[in-house]
Amino acid sequence: MELDVIQYEIDEEVEKKLISALKNFIARTDADLVILSDDAGRIICFYGKNLDETQAEFLASIISGIFGAAFEMAKMVSKEDLLDAIQYESKKQNVVVKAVGDRFLIGVLCPKNVALGTVRLFLKELAEELNQIFSTVKPKPSKLLKLSPEAIEDKLNKILGAT
């Protein structure tokens, strides 16, 4: 069993390829930020302005949440429709979220002066590129906690101090 309970693990080489694809997308669109996450809100990588890892983690949760909510709505109003992308506008920014395959999502934040058509065009290309990268991802060797259940309990007691 893998250490991480999610079914995939991204190694450094794959991560470099993913970030390079995100960087390229930002350069082409002038978007402020692009986040790649899975549909459970776990961040995979991100690229853009003024965002630390923790903020990105929360944004990934919200992106997966709003996409998931929109997906539920799409199912209710049209059972055969599969949601591919959502977008919304605020006063200063536009946000676009697009599915990449069955499990991943890209969230893009861009200023209002960036044409949404351009964003969506390059987002389509980005999704194809990311799909191609994901198709080459192989499971990493298993890493397990080399601890007995009693030792885990003991360590958690010391860290969290519940008992």
Partner 1 sequence: MKLKIVYFGASLAGKSTNVKVLYDKLHPKGLTKGDYISMETDENRTLFVEMFLSHFDIDGQTIEAKVLTTPGQFRLHPLRKVIMKGVDGLVFVVDSSQERENINFLVLRETAAVLKEQGFDLYSLPVVVQYNKRDLPDATPIDELQPVCNPWDTEYIEAVAVNGEGVVETFQSIIKKVLIEKACAKK
Least Å distance between CB 4 and partner 1?
Answer: 5
Least Å distance between CB 1 and partner 1?
Answer: 7
List of residues 6+ apart from 93 with CB closer than 8 A: 32, 109, 110, 111, 112
Which is it for strands 43-48 and 85-89: parallel, antiparallel or unpaired?
A: unpaired
Instruction: Give 23 or 143: the residue with its C-beta nearer to partner 1.
Output: 143
Contact predicate 48/31, CB 8 Å: yes
Least Å distance between CB 123 and partner 1?
Answer: 22
**Residue 131 belongs to what H/E stretch?**
helix 116-135
Instruction: Give contact residues for partner 1 (rule: CB under 8 A).
Output: 1, 3-6, 38-42, 54-55, 57-58, 61, 64-65, 68-69, 71-73, 76, 143-149, 151-153, 155-157, 159-163
Lookup: tokens for 103: 């499990």
| R_g of the chain computed on alpha carbons | 18
98 by DSSP, 3-state: which? strand
Least Å distance between CB 142 and partner 1?
Answer: 10
Instruction: Give 138 or 146: the residue with its C-beta nearer to partner 1.
Output: 146
Instruction: Give 27 or 73: the residue with its C-beta nearer to partner 1.
Output: 73
Least Å distance between CB 137 and partner 1?
Answer: 16
d(CA 93, CA 74): 24
Instruction: Give 139 or 149: the residue with its C-beta nearer to partner 1.
Output: 149
Half-sphere exposure of 117 (CA within 13 A, CB side): 0
Instruction: Give 62 or 133: the residue with its C-beta nearer to partner 1.
Output: 62
